[in-house]
A = this chain, B = another copy of it.
């Protein structure tokens, strides 16, 4: 089948910067490309939009296919459109930010990928296309939204301690935070509710909290 147009058309992809916390460090999901161009290089997950889905739908589908989960946070943060960013043809990429708790993640190499890894942000391998730029943009978007706290829940399991929240917040922001002030702000924000449960750690048990419902009423911030 051949698709023909009176004017040239670019292809559209979504690329997804999926972040998680692993051992307290912020990591990003990379796949190793199995095919040219950039065969063997690491890249962000993503793929071509189909003609029957929206960009959001494409990002959600690709993420599901690559990781097997629906991310609680998934929104677009930038467009990448340099004419020669893909050697095959003109490709416009809409970049999405996604956050998932590690435990909900089942990343596996799919048909197009030789391997999958969680890469530490300050130890990234060489990347295909302009994906290093996209990751830089994703971190900026992540930090700027993180100040409103809500996005942090995307990295945490459904029930979490205040300390876990603080660790996630600090990992994203890349700096330590005052424990009592952060807890005061978080508890006063109305974004979390205490549960009756406590953690069963190695030391004194901590109360578990959960994020309020309808935290992401429209998962897409800005139409897409």
Contacts and interface: CB of A to CB of B under 8 A. Distances in A.
A203 interface: no
A79 interface: yes
Contact of A80 (B10, B52, B89, B223): B223
A105 B128 CA distance: 42
Given A78-B222, A79-B79, A83-B54, A3 B5 contact: yes
Nearest to A92: B12
Given A80-B223, A90-B51, A137-B222, A9 B9 contact: yes
A77 interface: yes
Contacts of A7: 3, 11, 48
A133 interface: yes
Interface residues on A, range: 35 or more
A35 to B, nearest CB: 15
A1 interface: yes
Most buried by B among A10, A11, A56, A81: A81
A217 interface: no
Closest CB pairs A-B (n = 10): A9-B9, A78-B222, A55-B81, A79-B224, A4-B4, A78-B223, A54-B81, A3-B8, A8-B51, A2-B4
23 contacts: A1-B6, A2-B4, A2-B6, A3-B8, A5-B5, A5-B11, A7-B11, A7-B48, A9-B11, A10-B51, A51-B90, A53-B83, A54-B82, A54-B83, A55-B81, A76-B78, A78-B222, A78-B224, A79-B79, A79-B222, A79-B224, A134-B223, A137-B223
